[in-house]
Structure 1
Amino acid sequence: MKKQLLKLTLLAVVFFSATIVQGQALYTTSGSYKISTSGLDTNLYMTIDGATGALVWAEELPDNNAAQVWYIAVHRTPASPGLVEITSKAGGIDWTMTTSGVEADHPTYTLTVEKRLPKEVEVGDWSGKDQFQRRKTKVNADGLADSTGSNPSDGNNALFLQTPWGTNSRYGIIPSAAGDPVQFDGGGIDVIQYHLIEAAVASVNTFGLDAFSVYTSNNQLTVKGATSKVKQISIYSVLGNKVLSKTVSNSNGDINLNVTSLSTGLYILKMVGVNGEKFSKKIIKE
């Protein structure tokens, strides 16, 4: 009897701990996430509706269904530091989370997804309406909204949207049922959960494992390898700002890029192939 009681107690502790962890699912790093509400009897997840292409709240789908998996990373051309893009590959299609809202709607928007990559913009330009900011809001020990609580110390539990008309639109409309649209407003900041599936790796290579070798010397960056497959090469600062770019046409030799204008330091090289392949690598300008 004592052994059975002990077993039940341990199970209760495990279940309670799992509940607490779920209530504190945070954004901590670039990677693949599922994004859900917090504190509902059955939490709902941001989902691409396969029938309509709309962005809705839905019950959790099994096996990390792609309709609920989002890649959150530094925006490829952030209008200001700290902004992220939220994309999906559901159905093998490039989707970008955004809104079709207009100035009169601000700060209340219905979020949607569009069949495109995030818009490349200049500093101060939010016209793509696809730039988000992960933020913190105060919670209690269970990870639920509490204005007298404290902010999580090791991650983010809120989400804002920045548009040409302001930066104060945020997740603050809790859905009442599955199928509800995803809506932001300018009211209270509600807790949103980021369930990490897989952290991003330092470099991404869909060309092939050994497609390229990259080196810099005498103010010149040289790319060797499968260069005939490349259509665009770009260099970004560690803050995500594009600092150099070059369009490549049927290169059968090395790709060379003059990097004289770059200060010494760490950068990220990104290449896009003729069929959408991607390659990224950290480089150092000496």
Structure 2
Amino acid sequence: MKKITLKISAFLLLVMFGLQVDAQPILWTEDGTYKIGARGTNFFMTINGTTGALEWNTELPGDDPTQVWAIVGHRFAASEHDGGNGAGYMEITATIPGVGNFTMATDAVSTDGNNITIIARPGDPIDKTADLTDLSGLDQFQRRKAKVDANGDPDSGGTNPADGNNALFLKTPWSNGARYGVTPTAAGDPVEFNGGGIDVIDYHLVQSLSTKAFNASSIFIANPVKNELSVKGLTSNISQVAIYSLLGQEVLSRKLNGESSLNLDISALTSGMYIVDFKGENGSLTKKIVKQ
């Protein structure tokens, strides 16, 4: 009976945690990996594992790599088209183990105007900054702000979020640019931009990439987890892995000595969400897991 009560309590905690997060603006605030969701829906930008197409889909279990995007300053920021500072130009990329890298982009042409479909192009971002007729290229997005209320929902009379971004633009050579403004209605819908109103995007932070001491993109955790936590892609400067409850209590830890992979027995942990903290002498990074 006590074990059942603990499981129910953990479940209720997860539900309350989810409600608290979903009720607030979910913003891009820092370089990191994100799940990109359409506000007011349960759809996320997803690379179709069969066709390679970029589409909206329901959230997949754990941090599925087809739904996790690195959103950072563009490596070839087209500063000459933005007053010399290149502010806000971002690259949005994904890495699927065993398949390769993908860059969010468009292969639209001028006749498409502002109504364009966004794709997941195999490969890395392309350097087009030397071509002044290309403006910011076709894979250089801009994080922007849309007017919202205190809960992060669209509100023409609301104020822009002060501490992050909740919208997404893409400039093209033939117009002032397109923006995410077509809310999906069903799984499988393409990701479409237009020249109309700005719809709100939820940027669900998966992992901060601000700590340069780690090659964060290499670390992979199978998620959700049952009785064994499997971690791959560890780097030599990670000296300890610790697991914390959502209340901040350390429930398990293991010192490392240059291992590239790790398997931890977590069968004794109750079901629920936990934080895995990777520690090194120059900092730390965290990932979320769900113990089934």
TM-score range, shorter chain: 0.5 to 0.7
- In 1, Cα distance between the equivalents of 2:205 and 2:36? 9
Contact 1:96/1:113 (<8 A) preserved: yes
Find the counterpart in structure 2 of residue 39 from structure 1. 40
Contact 1:160/1:167 (<8 A) preserved: no
Extract structure 1 runs of 4+ deviating beyond 6 A.
Answer: 10-13
Report the Cα offset of residue 188 of structure 1: 0.2
Question: CA offsets per residue over residues 59-107 of structure 1, 9 Å max, x none?
Answer: 0001110000000011001112120000000244110000110011121
Structure 1 segments unaligned to the other structure (5+ residues): 1-6, 211-286
1:166 counterpart (175, 194, 203): 175
- In 1, Cα distance between the equivalents of 2:75 and 2:213? 14
Question: CA offsets per residue over residues 96-131 of structure 1, 9 Å max, x none?
Answer: 000110011121100001111000122544474100
Report the Cα offset of residue 166 of structure 1: 2.8
- In 1, Cα distance between the equivalents of 2:149 and 2:141? 25
Find the counterpart in structure 2 of residue 72 from structure 1. 71
Find the counterpart in structure 2 of residue 99 from structure 1. 106
Find the counterpart in structure 1 of residue 96 from structure 2. 90
Report the Cα offset of residue 204 of structure 1: 5.6
SS in structure 2 opposite 1:29?
coil
Equivalenced residues, count: 198
Structure 2 segments unaligned to the other structure (5+ residues): 1-8, 80-85, 219-232, 238-292
Find the counterpart in structure 2 of residue 52 from structure 1. 51
- In 2, Cα distance between the equivalents of 1:109 and 1:115? 18
1:198 counterpart (190, 202, 207): 207
Structure 1 residues 14 and 127, CA gap change in structure 2 (3 angstroms): closer
- In 2, Cα distance between the equivalents of 1:178 and 1:15? 22
Question: 2:28 aligned with 1:19, yes or no?
Answer: no
Structure 1 residues 140 and 50, CA gap change in structure 2 (3 angstroms): same
TM-score relative to the length of structure 1: 0.64
1:156 counterpart (165, 169, 178): 165
Structure 1 residues 94 and 19, CA gap change in structure 2 (3 angstroms): closer
Find the counterpart in structure 1 of residue 185 from structure 2. 176
SS in structure 2 opposite 1:113?
strand
Report the Cα offset of residue 203 of structure 1: 5.1
Report the Cα offset of residue 16 of structure 1: 4.7
1:145 counterpart (148, 154, 171): 154
Find the counterpart in structure 2 of residue 109 from structure 1. 116
Structure 1 residues 197 and 91, CA gap change in structure 2 (3 angstroms): same
Report the Cα offset of residue 164 of structure 1: 1.6
Counterpart residue identity of residue 39, structure 1: G
Contact 2:146/2:199 (<8 A) preserved: yes
Report the Cα offset of residue 46 of structure 1: 0.1
- In 2, Cα distance between the equivalents of 1:164 and 1:204? 37
The structure having more radius of gyration, on CA atoms, is 1
Report the Cα offset of residue 13 of structure 1: 7.1
Counterpart residue identity of residue 26, structure 1: L
- In 2, Cα distance between the equivalents of 1:102 and 1:94? 24
